[in-house]
Amino acid sequence: MPLGLEKIRKLGKTKEWEEKEKKVRNILGKRLKTTFKRKKLHIGLKSDGTPKEHEFDLVSLNGEVVGEVKTFTPIKGGGRPSAKIDTTFLACFVLEKAKARRRLLVLTDEEFFRIFKKESNGIISKKIEILHIPV
């Protein structure tokens, strides 16, 4: 059975990752003049009719802005970081389900940002803004 985004997130979470996410929240909060928190939001219904929730990395106080933060870096040696790209596409899929005015995908590494922008061109929803915020 494939790992869900929540399990992948828990496996890859480190203190450094959490610190970068916190910095992104602060930077975006200043830029957009709001406060961001991690928060679970309803994104659909399970097959049994019960609500499906996802914990987003960024949710503004008024709920109008929702986002995911990815701190991935490219693979040493220049290979295609397939699993990192696939996980980032999964984050975009979840962002599409969010009921928000703005949906943000924040990438903290410049090279991974360039790789993902190229890979995702024409694939992800135009509703999702991809931002590079170095932290």
Domains, the chain: 5-77+87-132 (3.40.1350)
Q: Distances in Å between the alpha carbon of 117 and those of 39, 56, 123? A: 26, 21, 10
Asked if pLDDT for residue 134 goes beyond 50, the answer is: yes
How confident is the model at residue 6, as a pLDDT?
61
96-126 pLDDT, tens per residue? 999 999 999 999 999 999 999 999 999 999 9
Tokens 């995908």 correspond to what residue?
Answer: 105
**Residue 4 confidence class, pLDDT cut points 50, 70, 90:** low
* Total-model pTM: 0.87
| Contact (Cβ atoms closer than 8 angstroms) between residue 45 and residue 52 | yes
What is the share, in percent, of the chain residues with pLDDT greater than 90?
81
Segment 26-38 shows an average pLDDT of 97
Q: Compute the 3-state secondary structure of the chain and give helix, strand, coil in percent, each to the nearest 5.
A: 40, 25, 35
CA dihedral 23, 3, 96, 38 (to 10 degrees): -30
